[in-house]
Amino acid sequence: MKVYSRPMTQVAMVGFVAFCLPGLYNTITGMGAAGMVDPSVAANANVALYVAGIFSSLFIAPLTFKYLGNYSMFVGGLTYPLYMGSLWAYGHIQSRGFCIAAGALLGIGAQMFWICQGSIMISYPVEAEKGKAIAIFWVIFNLGGFLGSIISFGINFNSTAGKVSDSTYIAFTILMIVGACFALLMLPRHKVVRKDGSRVAIVHKDEKNISLKSLFVDALAIFKAGFANPKLLALIPFFYSSNFVYSYQFDAVNGALFNVRTRGLNGALYWGSQMLGSVIFSRLLDSKRLSRRTRAIAGVSTLFVFFNIVWIGALISQLQYGIYSTGLPAEDRLDLTSGPHYGGELVLYICFGLADSMWYVYALQTFIYWVLGTLSNEPATLGVYTGFFKAFQNAGAASGWKVDASHVPYLHFLIACWVLIFISFPGAYW
């Protein structure tokens, strides 16, 4: 029972929930067009998802977390299988409206999960173990994308269609339901005990006496605290760009260049590289040999060099395969048997995964250190402030998917990603 109530055990459990929910969502999204033939349907559903996510991260998710605690993870988690079911249904009834509506509901539900997850990551571990907690969560979470892609690769290995099979959608829907139900096994935050005997949170009698007015006050507090802090303000482009680039990588690269079975293999290696990158980069940021400022400068300098190398490679690839937003014809799509042509693009896609995990770990670590320096460690309060970080991430993702849905030439899309990343670095150096 002592092990069950430890912060790291609870972090690992959150990781498993993420494995089944956003992990498998990432698998299907990472295959390009959510595994469908028509990329505009999934792109518009993702726009609805992230626009709804902006509002949810500031208002709905913090409220449900305060009222329901960790149970909000279960309630929000149920929107994942609903969305997956809408993708399966589209293959039979071609209902764009159902997909987009399910995407909007997922935008609300996903933030209920992520606000809860963010609060746990920030408040449960002691300061010395926060980097370790991020690495544990990130590895388990991305294991969902890795194994999900392996499952998809196996199911679709002999497929010649341009979309994934019904079996893939059905299997993922079932696993997502399991993940949402697993969230019910999480301990209430006041029952989590650290190694030193201190409890994560103390139950207050008036904790749940929350009015709608107080919710808006909390939301205003987010912006007041965030925009009043120059260092955090400078990091907004960093937060925004962290999710902007995914739509380019998933649709303009994986979805546009490869056939369906190869997309599954690519996805497995992409999410595997994210696991590797998060562990390595977390070790750098947690190094005891260097001061916090030195670690931050070393981290962001490493990011700057690596990101520019990766995006130079992306530019070379894009110029080779064309600037437009149609992708390769079905008969010309790269397969895992395509030899050197496939090998070069695979290396680029793996490097995308490494770079993105390093970017996200740095952004999250920086945000956590700011929060710890300016706020309390009370989970309910931190759930509200996590909304600041998630709101700008959602805004970036919504913008990226809108660009994709608008059929902007892929070369222009690439340049937008690169420029946005480039202008994020000055604020990260501060």
Write out the DSSP string of 246-265. Answer: HHIIIIIIIHHHB-HHHHHH
pLDDT of the chain along its 430 residues, tens only? Answer: 678 888 889 999 999 999 999 999 988 887 754 545 466 787 888 899 999 988 888 777 777 777 777 888 999 999 999 999 998 888 788 888 899 999 999 999 998 998 888 778 777 877 677 777 877 888 898 888 888 888 878 877 776 555 667 888 898 999 999 999 999 999 887 788 887 777 776 544 445 555 666 666 766 766 676 667 677 778 788 888 888 998 899 888 888 888 888 888 898 899 888 888 877 777 766 667 777 677 777 777 888 899 999 999 999 999 888 766 667 777 788 888 888 888 999 999 999 998 888 877 666 666 655 555 555 555 556 666 667 777 888 899 999 988 988 888 999 999 999 999 888 888 766 6
- Domain assignment present for 203: no
- Domain assignment present for 306: yes
- Domain assignment present for 107: yes
CB atoms within 10 A of CB 320: 10
Rg of the chain over all Cα atoms, to the nearest angstrom: 21
- Domain assignment present for 192: no
- Domain assignment present for 2: no
Domain limits at 101? Answer: 10-187+213-429
Query: CA 91, 93, 99, 102: dihedral to nearest 10 degrees?
Result: -110
Alpha-carbon distance 428 to 56, whole Å? Answer: 27
Q: What is the CATH number of the domain that holds 164?
A: 1.20.1250.20
- Domain assignment present for 391: yes
Q: Structure pTM?
A: 0.80
- Domain assignment present for 307: yes
CB atoms within 10 A of CB 156: 24
Alpha-carbon distance 416 to 189, whole Å? Answer: 42
Residues near 117 by beta carbon (within 8 Å), at least 6 away in sequence: 14, 18, 73, 137
Residues near 343 by beta carbon (within 8 Å), at least 6 away in sequence: none
Instruction: Kindly provide the b/e burial profile for residues 129-140, where b requires at least 16 CB atoms within 10 angstroms of the residue's own CB.
Output: bbbbbbbbbbbb
- Domain assignment present for 3: no
Q: What is the number of domains present in the chain?
A: 1
How far is the CA of 266 from the CAs of 105, 163, 258, 274, in angstroms?
29, 15, 9, 12
**pLDDT tens readout for residues 230-261:** 777 787 888 888 889 988 998 888 888 888 88
The closest alpha carbon to 186, from 9, 395, 411, 402, belongs to 9
**pLDDT tens readout for residues 319-334:** 888 766 667 777 788 8
